[in-house]
A and B are shown apart, each in its own frame.
Chain A
């Protein structure tokens, strides 16, 4: 029996160790405690070469005349072809525009390091810190209180405090860069409706309890209806939101997404919009595999989902790069306001399917986009799902 207990104990200890390790994989192998984990001044992919006027270093950021912008990524790399990269390009643009004198980024490798990475820039005397992704909302808000003299730009971070009665939790220096998801959904909904041969299109989304997801889905419907009105067609739109008891689960269930997309295609749908993290990615991959039109979300997913790229029609995009650059400029001239800032939405290029999209549809898409931008077209989507 002794041997038995030993084996059991060993296995349980091993499994606990592995579970624990799963949480902290990097364990900051190289950096000494005082140094930032990874700081680079240029993107690993070729950045435009700037004329070296004066060689600035991070140490110069404490000087008031040197305007420094730091970017903290969500878990992942800065060249992720998605949110991180778009935000970093925005920061780089602010440098080429002459707004920022020095730009740097820190790549986050674990969600536990959010606060630490933001503090690295805060302590170095940066003027603006950009944090990328919904996941950093709380860390950014907390940092806003810890560094009251700095400006924070939270990409895709909804500032809920702006809508609460209580003013005690208000922030004076955190600006959330949000996007009109309904416009983005509207654009791809119109596109899907015009491209569909069967006049049946589908959308597979995360839970509609999350307002942006709801706006994507309903915007998609509204866009399809608008295109129908324009062309005199009738398009059947299937929109399915994942409703699991577990909230996170609704965004991390690619298998469900794939099955739902397949179910829609079985009923005749020939264009599928996947909105909702990995669940949506599952739907997009399944659609592409079945030869239907696949439509991505947030960023240009042609670049991030190689499996689906050949059938990737477009993506409902949040235009992060210009939003970040604009907010950085506003932070410099002092016009930035804490709270929510609404950026722009758009649609991704057609890439491989460019030849299948007729000139009329391309023109119609440009007209709709222009209409949404100047306000002559409105989606009519409520900001959040109305209570049933």
Chain B
């Protein structure tokens, strides 16, 4: 475990939260601020976490994937489209359509990843170029189809976006119910419990992403599959010598990575808001890559880094909520542009390697020639 790295991450998150607590305590109790920020942080970090996991799988197997952004965008579009199609054309139940939409998104991510795999593993194309192709293709494909299907004359949906089946519901974790008897008649106690409960009341993909982080950690470092994955990423020749099919392992992991990116795409259009916008992923795929590098190509590290980005987003929102009570000497925090730059400045700091060198898998980005 890389404690220095985790310590640094914990420090940044504490500072970001601390600023808001100090400023906002005039208006709200600190516990409420912290739990609300935690809830926002976890939700905002979801696509970054999944994107970073996608990168971890691909790169641990030796395939650089800068096409995560494109995979997310395509999956967001097709997941959303699939949901609407099922709902409006086949008149399926809203919940069924939503769940099918998630599957469409994952499938789309896998198909885009298959393209990347064919290019980079079978055809041994430069993987950066392959990823770029996917990103450009995604922008063109989704923009084109979005216009054609919804806004073109004589289009399937008659020129306007139809009602979507909605979004995934929040899953309530019954902490409040559990503590109701313990709190008794104390209203303050119950209020605190409710505040804490909000952190855990997340939507399925947000919760699933956290489970997938630990699952991925287990798979990569404690199973035969993980060992083989890392072997083909570190020293494919050695892996080949002991009888591991390098191409097969790489294909499988790139496809798994694509599914993670697809799930990240589903977060945007099926979990967060039921609408699609051209370019809606807005660079989050690239920030995931930064998170992956910051996390040193480990699932848990990448998750922690994703949380930093989530926390800076939460800071940005809360600084405006408490704009009226910001003390004059901290007036720069009112300049929303400065606060808005926080994630990007953090990314630069993180990428300079200020908190320790990061070591990519040895064969990362190198096509395997027998």
Contacts and interface: CB of A to CB of B under 8 A. Distances in A.
A382 interface: no
Contacts of B317: 240, 259-260, 263
B246 to A, nearest CB: 19
A239 interface: yes
A11 B147 contact: no
Q: Nearest 7 pairs between A and B by C-beta?
A: A18-B140, A243-B336, A22-B143, A19-B140, A266-B36, A25-B147, A254-B273
Contacts of A307: 163-164, 166, 274
Interface residues of A, number: 60
Q: Name the prevailing secondary structure of the B interface residues.
A: helix
Contacts of B44: 259
A244 B119 CA distance: 35
B320 A257 contact: no
A266 B273 contact: no
Nearest to B323: A239
Contacts of B274: 285, 307
Interface stretch (B52-60, B152-160, B255-263, B287-295): B152-160
B139 A19 contact: yes
A16 B144 CA distance: 11
Given A25-B147, A262-B40, A286 B133 contact: no
A378 interface: no
A29 interface: yes
Given A240-B317, A262-B40, A109 B153 contact: yes
Nearest to B341: A245
Interface string A1-38: 00110011001101111111110011001000000001
A262 B43 contact: yes
B36 A243 contact: no
Contacts of B36: 263, 266-267
Interface stretch (B9-17, B25-33, B222-230, B351-359): B25-33
B295 to A, nearest CB: 22
Interface in B110-160: 119, 123-125, 129, 133, 136-137, 139-141, 143-144, 146-148, 151-153, 159-160
Given A262-B39, A281-B275, A285-B273, A8 B147 contact: no
Contact of B140 (A4, A21, A260): A21
A38 B153 CA distance: 10
Nearest to A255: B272
A289 interface: yes
B106 interface: no
B316 interface: yes
Contacts of B32: 266-268
